[in-house]
Structure 1
Protein backbone atom coordinates (compact mmCIF):
# COMPACT_ATOMS: atom_id res chain seq x y z
CA UNK A 1 0.00 0.00 0.00
CA UNK A 2 1.68 3.19 -1.19
CA UNK A 3 -1.09 5.78 -0.76
CA UNK A 4 -4.80 5.84 0.03
CA UNK A 5 -7.64 8.31 0.43
CA UNK A 6 -10.98 7.40 1.98
CA UNK A 7 -13.63 9.86 0.86
CA UNK A 8 -17.25 10.12 2.06
CA UNK A 9 -18.57 8.24 -0.99
CA UNK A 10 -15.57 6.40 -2.50
CA UNK A 11 -11.96 5.48 -1.89
CA UNK A 12 -8.65 5.27 -3.74
CA UNK A 13 -5.73 2.91 -3.19
CA UNK A 14 -2.37 2.78 -4.89
CA UNK A 15 -1.11 -0.75 -4.37
CA UNK A 16 1.30 -3.15 -5.97
CA UNK A 17 0.12 -6.77 -5.90
CA UNK A 18 2.77 -9.45 -5.50
CA UNK A 19 1.11 -12.16 -7.63
CA UNK A 20 -1.58 -12.48 -10.30
CA UNK A 21 -5.01 -12.39 -8.71
CA UNK A 22 -3.87 -10.73 -5.47
CA UNK A 23 -5.55 -7.42 -6.30
CA UNK A 24 -8.93 -8.97 -7.10
CA UNK A 25 -8.82 -11.10 -3.94
CA UNK A 26 -7.81 -8.12 -1.79
CA UNK A 27 -10.51 -5.80 -3.15
CA UNK A 28 -13.09 -8.59 -2.81
CA UNK A 29 -12.08 -9.17 0.80
CA UNK A 30 -12.03 -5.42 1.56
CA UNK A 31 -15.46 -4.67 0.10
CA UNK A 32 -17.07 -7.77 1.65
CA UNK A 33 -15.56 -7.10 5.08
CA UNK A 34 -16.56 -3.43 4.98
CA UNK A 35 -20.09 -4.27 3.84
CA UNK A 36 -20.53 -6.81 6.65
CA UNK A 37 -19.19 -4.44 9.29
CA UNK A 38 -21.32 -1.60 7.94
CA UNK A 39 -24.49 -3.69 8.23
CA UNK A 40 -23.60 -4.81 11.77
CA UNK A 41 -22.84 -1.22 12.81
CA UNK A 42 -26.04 0.17 11.24
CA UNK A 43 -28.19 -2.77 12.35
CA UNK A 44 -29.34 -3.39 8.79
CA UNK A 45 -30.07 -6.76 7.23
CA UNK A 46 -27.91 -6.35 4.16
CA UNK A 47 -30.35 -5.22 1.50
CA UNK A 48 -29.10 -2.87 -1.18
CA UNK A 49 -25.65 -2.08 -2.45
CA UNK A 50 -22.78 -0.38 -0.70
CA UNK A 51 -20.59 -0.82 -3.77
CA UNK A 52 -21.94 -0.75 -7.29
CA UNK A 53 -19.96 -1.86 -10.29
CA UNK A 54 -16.44 -3.21 -10.42
CA UNK A 55 -13.38 -1.62 -8.96
CA UNK A 56 -11.09 0.09 -11.45
CA UNK A 57 -7.43 -0.70 -11.82
CA UNK A 58 -4.63 0.10 -14.22
CA UNK A 59 -0.89 -0.43 -14.43
CA UNK A 60 1.36 2.59 -13.93
CA UNK A 61 4.85 3.26 -15.23
CA UNK A 62 7.37 4.06 -12.49
CA UNK A 63 8.67 7.37 -11.22
CA UNK A 64 6.96 10.39 -12.85
CA UNK A 65 3.70 8.61 -13.69
CA UNK A 66 3.58 6.81 -10.34
CA UNK A 67 4.20 10.15 -8.62
CA UNK A 68 1.31 11.75 -10.55
CA UNK A 69 -1.10 9.00 -9.52
CA UNK A 70 -0.06 9.22 -5.85
CA UNK A 71 -0.39 12.99 -5.88
CA UNK A 72 -3.83 12.77 -7.51
CA UNK A 73 -5.05 10.32 -4.86
CA UNK A 74 -3.69 12.27 -1.89
CA UNK A 75 -5.16 15.54 -3.22
CA UNK A 76 -8.69 14.12 -3.45
CA UNK A 77 -10.06 15.71 -0.26
CA UNK A 78 -8.32 18.99 -1.11
CA UNK A 79 -9.85 19.02 -4.61
CA UNK A 80 -13.26 18.35 -3.03
CA UNK A 81 -12.66 21.35 -0.72
CA UNK A 82 -12.99 19.23 2.42
CA UNK A 83 -9.66 20.53 3.79
CA UNK A 84 -7.33 23.46 3.18
CA UNK A 85 -4.23 21.23 2.94
CA UNK A 86 -4.06 17.67 1.63
CA UNK A 87 -2.30 16.36 4.73
CA UNK A 88 -5.17 17.59 6.96
CA UNK A 89 -7.49 14.82 5.71
CA UNK A 90 -7.34 12.25 8.54
CA UNK A 91 -8.55 9.45 6.27
CA UNK A 92 -5.65 9.66 3.87
CA UNK A 93 -2.09 8.45 3.68
CA UNK A 94 -0.65 11.99 3.57
CA UNK A 95 -2.01 12.55 7.09
CA UNK A 96 -0.92 9.08 8.24
CA UNK A 97 2.60 9.59 6.91
CA UNK A 98 3.01 12.89 8.79
CA UNK A 99 0.80 12.67 11.89
CA UNK A 100 -0.12 8.99 12.17
CA UNK A 101 0.87 6.48 14.80
CA UNK A 102 3.77 4.10 14.25
CA UNK A 103 1.23 1.43 13.30
CA UNK A 104 -0.42 3.69 10.69
CA UNK A 105 2.95 4.63 9.21
CA UNK A 106 3.98 0.96 9.09
CA UNK A 107 1.00 0.20 6.81
CA UNK A 108 2.56 2.33 4.08
CA UNK A 109 5.16 0.91 1.73
CA UNK A 110 8.19 2.94 0.63
CA UNK A 111 7.80 4.27 -2.88
CA UNK A 112 9.83 2.73 -5.68
CA UNK A 113 12.51 5.31 -6.36
CA UNK A 114 11.69 7.16 -3.13
CA UNK A 115 9.38 10.07 -2.50
CA UNK A 116 10.48 13.40 -4.05
CA UNK A 117 11.83 15.91 -1.53
CA UNK A 118 9.26 18.52 -2.58
CA UNK A 119 6.31 16.11 -2.52
CA UNK A 120 4.52 17.56 0.54
CA UNK A 121 4.69 21.07 -0.91
CA UNK A 122 3.50 19.83 -4.30
CA UNK A 123 0.42 18.27 -2.70
CA UNK A 124 -0.93 21.71 -1.93
CA UNK A 125 -0.02 23.45 -5.20
CA UNK A 126 -2.92 24.45 -7.44
CA UNK A 127 -3.83 22.26 -10.39
CA UNK A 128 -5.71 25.04 -12.16
CA UNK A 129 -3.44 25.41 -15.19
CA UNK A 130 -4.52 23.90 -18.52
CA UNK A 131 -1.40 21.71 -18.50
CA UNK A 132 -2.18 20.35 -15.01
CA UNK A 133 -5.79 19.70 -15.97
CA UNK A 134 -4.72 17.84 -19.12
CA UNK A 135 -2.43 15.61 -17.03
CA UNK A 136 -5.31 14.84 -14.67
CA UNK A 137 -7.62 14.04 -17.59
CA UNK A 138 -4.97 11.78 -19.13
CA UNK A 139 -4.83 9.81 -15.90
CA UNK A 140 -8.62 9.69 -15.55
CA UNK A 141 -8.84 8.18 -19.04
CA UNK A 142 -6.55 5.38 -17.86
CA UNK A 143 -8.69 4.88 -14.76
CA UNK A 144 -11.94 4.77 -16.72
CA UNK A 145 -10.66 2.48 -19.47
CA UNK A 146 -8.19 0.41 -17.44
CA UNK A 147 -5.42 1.10 -19.92
CA UNK A 148 -1.76 1.50 -18.90
CA UNK A 149 -0.70 4.93 -17.65
CA UNK A 150 2.76 5.91 -18.81
CA UNK A 151 4.82 6.91 -21.83
CA UNK A 152 3.57 5.81 -25.26
CA UNK A 153 6.27 3.18 -25.73
CA UNK A 154 5.80 1.71 -22.26
CA UNK A 155 2.00 1.75 -22.57
CA UNK A 156 2.17 -0.12 -25.87
CA UNK A 157 4.43 -2.77 -24.30
CA UNK A 158 2.12 -3.19 -21.30
CA UNK A 159 -0.95 -3.35 -23.54
CA UNK A 160 0.63 -6.23 -25.47
CA UNK A 161 2.03 -7.97 -22.37
CA UNK A 162 -1.27 -7.97 -20.47
CA UNK A 163 -3.55 -8.33 -23.53
CA UNK A 164 -5.25 -4.97 -22.90
CA UNK A 165 -6.06 -4.18 -26.55
CA UNK A 166 -9.72 -3.50 -25.74
CA UNK A 167 -8.75 -0.75 -23.28
CA UNK A 168 -6.91 1.27 -25.92
CA UNK A 169 -9.37 1.01 -28.82
CA UNK A 170 -12.25 3.39 -29.36
CA UNK A 171 -15.46 2.21 -27.77
CA UNK A 172 -18.42 1.05 -29.76
CA UNK A 173 -18.90 -0.56 -33.09
CA UNK A 174 -16.34 0.22 -35.80
CA UNK A 175 -17.59 2.62 -38.47
CA UNK A 176 -18.54 1.20 -41.82
CA UNK A 177 -15.86 1.52 -44.49
CA UNK A 178 -18.14 2.81 -47.22
CA UNK A 179 -21.53 4.36 -47.63
CA UNK A 180 -24.73 2.41 -47.14
Structure 2
Protein backbone atom coordinates (compact mmCIF):
# COMPACT_ATOMS: atom_id res chain seq x y z
CA UNK A 1 0.00 0.00 0.00
CA UNK A 2 1.49 3.39 -0.98
CA UNK A 3 2.16 5.69 1.94
CA UNK A 4 -0.13 8.66 2.41
CA UNK A 5 1.18 11.95 1.06
CA UNK A 6 2.06 14.37 3.81
CA UNK A 7 -0.34 17.32 3.83
CA UNK A 8 1.17 20.65 4.90
CA UNK A 9 -0.57 24.01 4.86
CA UNK A 10 1.33 27.18 5.81
CA UNK A 11 0.44 28.47 9.29
CA UNK A 12 -1.83 25.51 10.06
CA UNK A 13 -0.50 23.73 13.18
CA UNK A 14 1.21 20.39 12.62
CA UNK A 15 1.73 17.62 15.17
CA UNK A 16 4.96 15.73 14.55
CA UNK A 17 6.19 12.50 16.10
CA UNK A 18 9.52 10.81 15.42
CA UNK A 19 10.55 7.53 17.01
CA UNK A 20 13.87 5.89 17.65
CA UNK A 21 14.70 2.99 15.34
CA UNK A 22 12.90 -0.16 16.53
CA UNK A 23 11.61 2.05 19.37
CA UNK A 24 15.05 2.00 20.95
CA UNK A 25 16.30 5.00 22.95
CA UNK A 26 17.37 8.14 21.14
CA UNK A 27 18.44 9.95 24.31
CA UNK A 28 21.00 8.32 26.58
CA UNK A 29 22.28 10.96 29.01
CA UNK A 30 21.11 14.39 30.13
CA UNK A 31 23.43 16.16 27.70
CA UNK A 32 21.64 14.52 24.78
CA UNK A 33 18.37 16.24 25.64
CA UNK A 34 20.11 19.59 25.95
CA UNK A 35 21.86 19.19 22.60
CA UNK A 36 18.62 18.14 20.87
CA UNK A 37 16.76 21.16 22.23
CA UNK A 38 19.50 23.51 21.07
CA UNK A 39 19.48 21.93 17.61
CA UNK A 40 15.67 22.14 17.55
CA UNK A 41 15.81 25.87 18.28
CA UNK A 42 18.32 26.45 15.48
CA UNK A 43 16.53 24.24 12.94
CA UNK A 44 13.13 25.78 13.69
CA UNK A 45 14.48 29.30 13.24
CA UNK A 46 16.27 28.45 10.01
CA UNK A 47 13.22 26.68 8.56
CA UNK A 48 10.73 29.33 9.74
CA UNK A 49 8.76 27.03 12.02
CA UNK A 50 7.16 28.24 15.25
CA UNK A 51 7.32 25.61 17.99
CA UNK A 52 4.32 25.78 20.34
CA UNK A 53 4.85 22.57 22.32
CA UNK A 54 7.31 19.72 22.59
CA UNK A 55 8.25 16.72 24.69
CA UNK A 56 11.36 14.58 24.48
CA UNK A 57 10.69 11.03 25.63
CA UNK A 58 13.35 8.35 25.97
CA UNK A 59 12.70 6.82 22.56
CA UNK A 60 10.64 9.39 20.67
CA UNK A 61 9.75 13.07 20.40
CA UNK A 62 6.59 15.09 19.87
CA UNK A 63 6.41 18.60 18.40
CA UNK A 64 3.55 20.98 17.72
CA UNK A 65 4.58 23.59 15.18
CA UNK A 66 3.23 26.17 12.76
CA UNK A 67 5.23 26.19 9.51
CA UNK A 68 5.66 29.33 7.43
CA UNK A 69 5.71 27.37 4.17
CA UNK A 70 4.87 23.89 2.91
CA UNK A 71 8.54 22.93 2.86
CA UNK A 72 9.35 24.26 6.33
CA UNK A 73 8.64 21.08 8.37
CA UNK A 74 10.71 18.83 6.09
CA UNK A 75 13.60 21.28 6.09
CA UNK A 76 13.50 21.54 9.88
CA UNK A 77 13.26 17.80 10.54
CA UNK A 78 15.97 16.92 8.02
CA UNK A 79 18.44 19.39 9.53
CA UNK A 80 17.52 18.48 13.09
CA UNK A 81 17.60 14.73 12.50
CA UNK A 82 20.91 14.68 10.66
CA UNK A 83 22.71 16.97 13.09
CA UNK A 84 21.47 15.10 16.12
CA UNK A 85 22.42 11.69 14.71
CA UNK A 86 25.90 12.99 13.97
CA UNK A 87 26.20 14.19 17.54
CA UNK A 88 24.89 10.93 19.06
CA UNK A 89 27.11 8.71 16.93
CA UNK A 90 30.15 10.77 17.79
CA UNK A 91 29.34 11.16 21.49
CA UNK A 92 28.34 7.55 22.12
CA UNK A 93 30.71 5.90 19.63
CA UNK A 94 27.98 4.27 17.60
CA UNK A 95 27.19 3.96 13.89
CA UNK A 96 24.06 3.58 11.81
CA UNK A 97 20.61 5.05 11.90
CA UNK A 98 18.93 6.43 15.00
CA UNK A 99 15.44 7.26 13.75
CA UNK A 100 12.70 4.89 12.59
CA UNK A 101 12.11 6.05 9.02
CA UNK A 102 10.24 9.26 8.25
CA UNK A 103 8.65 11.33 10.95
CA UNK A 104 4.85 11.15 11.13
CA UNK A 105 2.56 14.13 11.31
CA UNK A 106 -1.00 15.41 11.18
CA UNK A 107 -2.61 18.76 10.53
CA UNK A 108 -4.36 20.16 13.59
CA UNK A 109 -7.49 22.26 13.36
CA UNK A 110 -7.52 25.43 15.45
CA UNK A 111 -9.76 26.02 18.45
CA UNK A 112 -10.65 22.79 20.27
CA UNK A 113 -8.18 20.46 18.64
CA UNK A 114 -5.13 22.70 19.03
CA UNK A 115 -5.23 22.53 22.81
CA UNK A 116 -6.20 18.86 22.71
CA UNK A 117 -2.99 18.17 20.81
CA UNK A 118 -0.89 20.43 23.03
CA UNK A 119 -2.18 18.68 26.14
CA UNK A 120 -1.62 15.29 24.50
CA UNK A 121 2.03 16.19 23.95
CA UNK A 122 2.79 17.62 27.36
CA UNK A 123 0.93 14.83 29.20
CA UNK A 124 2.95 12.13 27.46
CA UNK A 125 5.31 11.57 30.43
CA UNK A 126 2.30 11.22 32.75
CA UNK A 127 0.64 8.61 30.53
CA UNK A 128 3.97 6.77 30.38
CA UNK A 129 4.08 6.61 34.17
CA UNK A 130 7.32 8.58 34.35
CA UNK A 131 5.89 11.41 36.48
CA UNK A 132 2.66 12.18 38.32
CA UNK A 133 2.27 15.66 36.83
CA UNK A 134 3.66 17.30 33.66
CA UNK A 135 5.37 19.95 35.79
CA UNK A 136 7.65 17.22 37.13
CA UNK A 137 9.06 16.37 33.70
CA UNK A 138 11.97 18.53 32.65
CA UNK A 139 12.08 17.85 28.92
CA UNK A 140 8.84 19.43 27.75
CA UNK A 141 7.27 22.80 27.04
CA UNK A 142 4.79 22.56 29.93
CA UNK A 143 6.82 24.73 32.29
CA UNK A 144 6.97 27.49 29.67
CA UNK A 145 3.30 27.34 28.70
CA UNK A 146 1.85 26.81 32.18
CA UNK A 147 4.22 28.83 34.37
CA UNK A 148 6.06 31.19 32.04
CA UNK A 149 9.45 29.57 32.54
CA UNK A 150 12.02 31.00 30.11
CA UNK A 151 12.29 28.81 27.02
CA UNK A 152 13.93 30.10 23.84
CA UNK A 153 12.21 27.42 21.74
CA UNK A 154 8.53 27.99 22.52
CA UNK A 155 6.60 30.59 20.55
CA UNK A 156 2.98 30.91 21.72
CA UNK A 157 0.26 30.34 19.14
CA UNK A 158 -2.37 33.07 18.72
CA UNK A 159 -4.89 30.81 20.47
CA UNK A 160 -2.64 30.64 23.51
CA UNK A 161 -2.32 34.44 23.49
CA UNK A 162 -6.11 34.66 23.43
CA UNK A 163 -6.36 32.81 26.76
CA UNK A 164 -6.00 36.08 28.63
CA UNK A 165 -5.04 39.73 28.48
CA UNK A 166 -2.07 39.26 30.83
CA UNK A 167 0.56 36.53 30.81
CA UNK A 168 -0.38 35.44 34.32
CA UNK A 169 -4.00 35.03 33.21
CA UNK A 170 -2.94 33.03 30.15
CA UNK A 171 -0.83 30.71 32.28
CA UNK A 172 -3.64 30.20 34.80
CA UNK A 173 -6.18 29.41 32.08
CA UNK A 174 -3.70 27.09 30.39
CA UNK A 175 -3.13 25.13 33.62
CA UNK A 176 -6.90 24.82 33.98
CA UNK A 177 -7.00 22.86 30.71
CA UNK A 178 -5.07 20.07 32.44
CA UNK A 179 -7.49 19.63 35.32
CA UNK A 180 -9.77 17.35 33.32
CA UNK A 181 -8.61 13.96 32.11
CA UNK A 182 -8.50 13.51 28.35
CA UNK A 183 -11.10 10.95 27.17
CA UNK A 184 -9.63 7.75 25.79
CA UNK A 185 -11.49 8.27 22.52
CA UNK A 186 -9.77 11.63 22.06
CA UNK A 187 -6.35 10.10 22.78
CA UNK A 188 -6.99 7.47 20.13
CA UNK A 189 -8.12 10.13 17.67
CA UNK A 190 -4.82 12.00 18.09
CA UNK A 191 -2.78 8.80 17.74
CA UNK A 192 -4.67 7.62 14.67
CA UNK A 193 -4.39 10.96 12.90
CA UNK A 194 -0.68 11.38 13.62
CA UNK A 195 0.40 7.82 12.85
CA UNK A 196 -1.59 7.97 9.62
CA UNK A 197 -0.20 11.33 8.45
CA UNK A 198 -3.83 12.44 8.45
CA UNK A 199 -5.88 15.31 9.92
CA UNK A 200 -7.02 16.06 13.46
CA UNK A 201 -10.18 18.12 13.56
CA UNK A 202 -13.90 18.27 12.97
CA UNK A 203 -15.56 16.18 10.25
CA UNK A 204 -15.96 19.32 8.16
CA UNK A 205 -12.28 20.22 8.49
CA UNK A 206 -11.18 16.66 7.68
CA UNK A 207 -13.39 16.65 4.58
CA UNK A 208 -11.99 20.00 3.49
CA UNK A 209 -8.44 18.73 3.86
CA UNK A 210 -9.28 15.54 1.96
CA UNK A 211 -10.46 17.64 -0.98
CA UNK A 212 -7.34 19.77 -0.75
CA UNK A 213 -5.15 16.66 -0.78
CA UNK A 214 -6.98 15.11 -3.72
CA UNK A 215 -6.92 18.24 -5.84
CA UNK A 216 -3.57 19.51 -4.59
CA UNK A 217 -5.21 22.88 -3.96
CA UNK A 218 -4.55 24.39 -0.57
CA UNK A 219 -7.58 26.14 0.96
CA UNK A 220 -7.15 29.59 2.44
CA UNK A 221 -7.21 29.75 6.21
CA UNK A 222 -10.35 30.93 7.88
CA UNK A 223 -10.93 32.39 11.29
CA UNK A 224 -7.29 32.89 12.16
CA UNK A 225 -6.75 34.79 15.40
CA UNK A 226 -3.95 37.33 15.39
CA UNK A 227 -2.43 39.42 18.15
- 1:62-101 to structure 2, matched below 5 A, reads 62-97=110-145, 98=147, 100=149
**How many aligned positions are there?**
156
Ranges in structure 1 where 5+ consecutive residues have no aligned partner: 166-180
Q: Is the 8 A contact 1:74 1:123 kept in 2?
A: no
CA RMSD of aligned residues (A): 2.0
1:154 counterpart = 2:205: yes
Match of 1:110 in 2: 156
Q: Alpha-carbon deviations, 1:110-155, whole Å to 9, x = none? A: 122226443324335434xxxx001111111111211111111111
Aligned to 1:59, the other structure's residue is in SS state: strand
Name the CA distance, whole Å, in 2 between partners of 1:52 and 1:107.
24
> How far off is 1:20 after superposition?
1.4
Aligned to 2:58, the other structure's residue is in SS state: coil
Larger Rg: 1
1:123 counterpart = 2:171: no
Alpha-carbon distance change, 31 to 145 in structure 1, aligned in 2, over 3 angstroms:
same
Ranges in structure 2 where 5+ consecutive residues have no aligned partner: 1-50, 164-171, 217-227
Tell me the TM-score normalised to structure 1 length: 0.79
Alpha-carbon distance change, 99 to 135 in structure 1, aligned in 2, over 3 angstroms:
same
Q: Alpha-carbon deviations, 1:31-63, whole Å to 9, x = none? A: 11110000111123x23x210121011111101
Of Structure 1 and Structure 2, the greater strand share is in 2
Aligned to 1:33, the other structure's residue is in SS state: helix
Q: Is the 8 A contact 1:90 1:96 kept in 2?
A: no
Match of 1:2 in 2: 52
Tell me the TM-score normalised to structure 2 length: 0.63
